[in-house]
Structure 1
């Protein structure tokens, strides 16, 4: 088998993790505390881990924290977003290729992400988007603990910790035949579920942590007025931590003094103005004429339509707002049968949405 050369470590070091420690991923939320306790046990035993959770719940933060906690923390954590790499490139990105393997290949060949993660951690984000052919190759890598680059006849031994993540219901993909059942059981030895922000009891701690990182010295109690604090604490946060951080960044940028007021918050967390509809607010925080009707969290299709509308159907801008790549957004458009604005006018689409 081919030995690893010193350049492997040099290239891998550029991907060193710089995430938060596990102890900084939650406050006193019992569900999150139990989740982190289980995750520690799994990484201690070097078992493959599958992190499940809605978009923006902190799956990559957790993966990085687990790597930094693990026995492999001195090596690299190599991250791959399976949904952001074009299907015709993902095989070479993951498994690498030999010199002269195909037209246009680098003359030196290329080490794939699997090889670069040797003795470290390989993090496969959005594993549910991995094409079927690469699922088969990944299964072989995990089974044989070796990888054969494209165009090479000689396998390379690899030793790595695997962490995968997805916001999708991957079991339904298995049932539909779009995700290999044997690969699912290989990567899902330890399943970790991250709760959405709306179900966490430590929202004040999360807000304070984000505020500290964006504006050192500011606190939720001293620098956010009571109405703005009430809005932030009771927002449904469909975009989870990603949306929460964006809201704090926006408010810190537009405030005119040391105090963040309700008017400084972005429209998408204001009552009745965006996807972050407030729930369970006290009477004093409501508008006097606002209807007191419980509002269910919006569906994924609703959020996609709103993001598209807000970005004037700019796919790149909408995918950034949703926290997914363009390829994933196009797949969701097909899945939810949302025609592109080039095919139907946005007014017609929004009328259908309403």
Structure 2
């Protein structure tokens, strides 16, 4: 039979361990008789080790808790113990052999309660620091938009918005399909914001922008020393940052085939394996993907995995291009006017009817994003209070010229155009009142109009206080 390991340790080394001055170890048998009494305890109990060994623990330390440990078989950790008027922190645990309790060990882990209190304070400070970093990370990776930021009244847009709001509470993957600039990222943010995961991270991943060689380290993270140039502290991947939150895979249709299999495994197993890690790590996340591609066509042509498509396409929401929801253009233009004039400190407060007619005749290949960019350009160029055709890009002026030369009238008649401008102005007014909590003086200043004009428009559009919350001057 092989000699037990502890018999190979020199006796003097064993004795030094038992007598080390940092623990003050006491060992008793199942009858409460002291079998070892550390020399470090001698000055504390005013008794030598040789005098203590062989006596009952309660004869030497009347308040010792070791007999209770022997009796119950349960360890006591972090107990406060009065050692001749000195408070110390001790651990006590049973000694077992073959399932039978044969004794107990007691040892000090803090010789001075002050040291324990100092450590407790330090741990408290570290916990507060961790909480602060968690809040900062949550703020950095929070969703920036809600469904209130989905602007428009068209049937197609409202159909998509209603579907997204209903599905927000689900844990199922959602695939957002739409041309570039149709608001897929706003929808993704809004879905997360309306879900039970809203208090956790929203992580955006642009699948088209990650180089193949960095895909695994970016998405799954890595441990210290995983590869040359790796951070000494390691780095969490996007999926780990999305734990208990949402990961948004934008432009997922651009992901190379070789990387699609790795993504599929993570989506199926809900686990990642950071580079350099010996074991996988379970992650709880909800996935929202977006694409401006026809993924079914890419599956047919072999550019996208069929199994990954089915995994992502559990629920799909189609976002309409702006050319199909032109009735939303006045509302959107008014929204961007309000938003940009504040950001740019502009005095522009209106859009000329001719400009709106051009907007309604244009096909908007860049969709809502292009409309916002055009509005920003117009505000930058406009020196007056009204955006005119001359403030638009040349391509837009050509729309008006071509339409006129070919005898083509705007797609909306004069009555509908007037109604569209009417809606845009009313929506501008409502938004200003809501943002100022109904304060008319502040709303007038925000719109850069006189307060008398504001009162006139409130009456003109029949705006009631109930629509805007509190009212004030």
Structure-2 change in CA distance of 1:259 and 1:8 (3 Å): closer
Who is 2:332 aligned against?
206
Q: Does 1:169 align with 2:169?
A: no
Pairs within 5 Å for 1:316-327: none
- String of CA shifts for 1:59-102, please: whole Å, max 9, x gaps: 10111111111111111100010111222112211111122111
- String of CA shifts for 1:2-61, please: whole Å, max 9, x gaps: xxx976775454211212x21331322111111111112222112100001001111101
Q: SS of 1:151's equivalent?
A: coil
Structure whose residues are more often strand by fraction: 2
Moved over 6 A (4+): 5-9, 217-220
Pairs within 5 Å for 1:272-287: 277=399
Who is 1:135 aligned against?
260
Structure-2 change in CA distance of 1:208 and 1:154 (3 Å): same
User: 2:347·2:385 contact (CA, 8 Å) conserved in 1?
Assistant: no
Pairs within 5 Å for 1:19-34: 19=145, 21-34=146-159
Distance in 1 between residues matched to 2:403 and 2:311, nearest whole Å:
52
- Per the TM alignment, residue 292 of structure 1 is displaced from its structure 2 partner at its CA by 4.1
Greater Cα radius of gyration, structure 1 or 2: 2
Structure-2 change in CA distance of 1:9 and 1:80 (3 Å): farther
Pairs within 5 Å for 1:146-157: 146-157=271-282
Structure-2 change in CA distance of 1:229 and 1:45 (3 Å): same
Who is 1:312 aligned against?
none
Gaps of 5+ in 2: 1-129, 411-473
Length, aligned pairs only:
278
Pairs within 5 Å for 1:231-246: 231-246=358-373
- Per the TM alignment, residue 286 of structure 1 is displaced from its structure 2 partner at its CA by 6.8
Q: Which has the higher contact order (CA 8 A, sep 6+)?
A: 1
Distance in 1 between residues matched to 2:296 and 2:396, nearest whole Å:
32
2:142 equivalent among 10, 16, 24: 16
Who is 1:229 aligned against?
356
Q: SS of 1:18's equivalent?
A: coil
User: 2:152·2:328 contact (CA, 8 Å) conserved in 1?
Assistant: yes
Structure-2 change in CA distance of 1:256 and 1:13 (3 Å): closer
TM-score, scaled to structure 1: 0.73
Pairs within 5 Å for 1:6-85: 10-19=136-145, 21-85=146-210
Q: CA RMSD in A?
A: 2.6
- String of CA shifts for 1:115-160, please: whole Å, max 9, x gaps: 0000111001000111223211111111111111122121111111
Distance in 2 between residues matched to 1:245 and 1:235, nearest whole Å:
14
User: 1:13·1:75 contact (CA, 8 Å) conserved in 2?
Assistant: no
- String of CA shifts for 1:240-272, please: whole Å, max 9, x gaps: 01110010000001012111111011223222x
- String of CA shifts for 1:143-186, please: whole Å, max 9, x gaps: 11111112212111111110000101111111122211111111
Who is 2:72 aligned against?
none
User: 1:223·1:260 contact (CA, 8 Å) conserved in 2?
Assistant: yes
Q: SS of 1:245's equivalent?
A: helix
Who is 1:120 aligned against?
245
TM-score, scaled to structure 2: 0.55
- Per the TM alignment, residue 226 of structure 1 is displaced from its structure 2 partner at its CA by 1.8
Structure-2 change in CA distance of 1:56 and 1:169 (3 Å): same
Q: Does 1:268 align with 2:395?
A: yes
Who is 1:352 aligned against?
none
Distance in 2 between residues matched to 1:232 and 1:181, nearest whole Å:
40
Deviates more, 1:9-18 or 1:129-138: 9-18
Who is 1:158 aligned against?
283
Distance in 2 between residues matched to 1:287 and 1:269, nearest whole Å:
11
Q: SS of 1:79's equivalent?
A: strand
Deviates more, 1:90-99 or 1:182-191: 90-99
